[in-house]
Chain A
Amino acid sequence: MILLALLLAAPAQTYAPQARQQHLEKVIGAVKRSGRDVLSQAYQYVAVYERGSCASSSERLRVECMMTAAKRFCQKRPATEAADCGLYLDMVVSNLLAEKRLVPTERRYEIMRRSREWRRDVGRELDRIQGELAVDFHLRHGDPKTDAQLARDVDAYCLKTPDATGMSWQVCASSLLWFVVAGSPPKEEQR
């Protein structure tokens, strides 16, 4: 009984290697099932919140607010997408949060100073960085045969990136999924 109580009291290891890989596999599946248009739409929806009501100096508040916005987006989607929506939105929200890490404020100012369409140029810079990451990943791991294999490879690769490039696991994983699996959907409405 005591042992059982202790086991129940122990915190769940929700980020154990197997749990991480399973989550990544589910996200890969959900992204593949949803179209680029849906991903683009989801991105634009959450981006509005990120720049508006979710803007905060506290990172924790910002993250929570964007997750709430993502859940709100999912509520508006058809019921058939309910299972996948939360998964691919995890990638979308992570990607939005990762943008400030990939293109730091100083670089963003630099782009803003020299470009009139700075948002488009920041997007290009992001594509360039994520593309470089994807090429490096591809050179190291080759073509994965299954989603499970890809998830394992992404997890293993992204565990090493903090030491090599200073990029956190979540920044690396969401960038790779966005670029490799989703094919970098457009982030702004086509004019």
Chain B
Amino acid sequence: MLGSKTLVTLFAAAAALLLTLTSGVLAPHRLATRGPHALLLAGIFGVLVGVLMFRFWRLGEASATYFRVARDGTLYENEGHFLGGPLTRLATGKNEGSAFDLGPTPQLFLCVGVALLVGLATIDARSLELLGKFTRNVAVNTASFCPEVEAKPAADDPNAPGCELVRRAFALGYAKDLGDCGVSKTRAAAAAVCTLRQRDEPFVHYAWRLLEHFGAGAARYFEPGYVSGLKSDFEKRMSRLDSINTAQREVLSSAPHSSHHVWVSLPDPGGTSLFGAGCEDRYRYLPHRPAPGDPAKAASQVFEHVLAQLLFESRYEPAAAYCREVVIHWGAPADACRQLAKDPEGFLAQSGALPHVRAVLDRWRLGNDLEQLGKQRSNRELPPQAFVSFSCWVEKPGAPGNPERWSAPVKLDGLDLAAEELTVAPLPPGAPLFVERYDEVATLLTRGFHYGALLSEAGLEGRGGEGLEPSFSTSDFAMSRLFGLEAVDIYLEPGWMAHRPDLLEVYPYQLHLKNYVKVFRGQYRRERGRL
């Protein structure tokens, strides 16, 4: 017969010992990592909890019940079946002093031991840190107090000398932000009305304010029109459920944010086309100079290269457009834009552009719809011409030297769009230089594109490199002389260099192409955008 208190204590001690041994908590290397503070705390925990267990469970007294293993069918008087079968079972009965119980001292030691093992298993350096943090947070809860208004540093003064000019530049759009002359976030936050507890406010006063605030808030729910307002708002939102679902679907399916179509009167450049699946990888790094491989498709390859460099190449700065949203229609008729202006819907459907354009227009309408609901912000301020465009590139033998532009309005789904056509002369066969194509393609994509001496990094002396030609007719200091070419921007005007294919091979295109692309993208972004 074993007293229930002794049984429980022994069982708890055995379980704790078994668990600590199997989990390796008592391994020397684990104990060494605890640190003296954690071990001390575990010791205090063990003694404290062990003594409390001993006292509150009255383990110093004899057990009220006992347990006994019975190996026959008969049970003693005042005994009951607890566990097991008819032959061997565990019986429990009322202890009248005959059951074995451990004395108070061993019981106390067992309790302390069990608690100590639990302490060692659970208290480590992290627990100590968490305990410390908790006590600090309880003691100083600064987040619930209003922040103190700090003294204004001189640099943060909006009336500091020079701020007038900065504010003027910001108002005119020449500066992106006000910098030091703007109202800083910390000052704005400090100046705003703070409803948190003041540093010198008694707690009862703060509690009363909170209660008052709660009362004012709760009164709103008992106003007569509140429920009907809720109902009408719910019905309004429910009526737009389709719109919200469509918006979610568009996000999940990555629907296009813009749709730009270019009909090109040139044949498809072939399998290496940049505008297909995986085009993002192909346009990331392009050679600085177009190098058409197939003479029959040279014009297409040059056009494709220039367009990709202007819009997509990300070598120098982020791309200006997404290649999925710029569709090139190769082999288009020379009068594609005129057909488009005559019958927009029919022509777009015939060339397969209608679904793409409609998807973007639907997205735009949906954005406007949701904006009314206050669900999300869309780029509603963008006019449709900014994210839907139709352009035609026509290369026609006999075309005048200067490209000819033709524009016509296009009405689609009640929206005013435009078709822009640019007619240029074909490149001379075997031409080594394609800089004029950059200007022409840039003009097609942005109205009134201009790249002049003031925009060039070469400065005013960079146009055509006048006076430099004789310097390259001799062969002495051949390498050193080439540094002089860096000051010549052939994208402004190639001048005499157009007739020097040998120099064009070693010309540092990268220096001025970077600036050219940057200038173009700046102008392009002002005209075009994405939803």
Contact = CB atoms under 8 A, between A and B. Distances in A.
Contact of A19 (B476, B479, B502): B502
Interface residues of B, number: 34
A30 B220 CA distance: 94
Among B475, B500, B511, chain A packs the most CB atoms within 10 A around the CB of: B475
Contacts of A63: 480-481, 483-484
Contacts of B503: 15
Contacts of A174: 479
Given A63-B481, A169-B482, A15 B461 contact: no
Interface in A136-166: 159, 162-163, 166
B473 A86 contact: no
B424 to A, nearest CB: 26
The 9 tightest CB contacts between A and B, nearest first, are A15-B502, A170-B482, A94-B479, A168-B508, A169-B506, A93-B480, A59-B487, A13-B502, A16-B502
A66 interface: yes
A90 B501 contact: no
Contacts of A31: none
Nearest to B286: A163
Interface in A19-33: 19-20, 23, 27
Chain A interface, >50% SS class: helix
B93 to A, nearest CB: 86
B474 A168 contact: no
A42 interface: no
A174 B481 CA distance: 12
A89 B505 CA distance: 24
A174 B508 CA distance: 15
A99 B106 CA distance: 85
A52 B498 CA distance: 35
A83 to B, nearest CB: 11
A80 interface: no
Contacts of A67: 477, 480-481
Interface in B452-510: 461, 468-469, 471-484, 486-487, 496, 499-503, 505-506, 508-510
B399 to A, nearest CB: 28
A66 B505 contact: no
Interface of A: 11-17, 19-20, 23, 27, 58-60, 63-64, 66-67, 70, 86, 89-91, 93-94, 97, 159, 162-163, 166, 168-170, 173-174
Contacts of A170: 479-480, 482-483, 506
A138 B58 CA distance: 87
A159 B483 contact: no
Could you say which of A58, A97, A163 has the most chain B C-beta atoms within 10 Å of its C-beta? A163
B293 to A, nearest CB: 15
Given A11-B469, A64-B471, A67-B481, 6 more contacts: A19-B475, A90-B477, A168-B486, A168-B508, A170-B482, A173-B479
Contacts of A15: 472, 478, 482, 500, 502-503, 505-506
B287 interface: yes
Contacts of B477: 67, 70, 86, 89-90, 93
Interface of B: 285, 287-288, 461, 468-469, 471-484, 486-487, 496, 499-503, 505-506, 508-511
A14 B486 contact: no
Contacts of B474: 14
Contact of A14 (B473, B480, B483): B473
B483 to A, nearest CB: 5
Given A97-B483, A162-B288, A163-B288, A20 B499 contact: no
B475 A66 contact: no
Contacts of A94: 479-480, 482-483
A19 B505 CA distance: 13
Contact of B502 (A14, A59, A60, A166): A14
B185 to A, nearest CB: 30
Contacts of B500: 11, 13, 15
Nearest to A10: B499
18 contacts: A11-B499, A14-B478, A15-B506, A23-B475, A23-B479, A59-B483, A64-B471, A66-B480, A70-B480, A90-B476, A90-B477, A91-B479, A94-B482, A97-B480, A169-B508, A170-B483, A173-B479, A174-B479
A183 B500 CA distance: 34
Contact of A60 (B461, B475, B496, B499): B461
B478 A23 contact: yes
A73 to B, nearest CB: 13
Nearest to B476: A86
A15 B506 CA distance: 8
Contacts of B481: 63, 67
Nearest to A27: B479
Contacts of B461: 58, 60
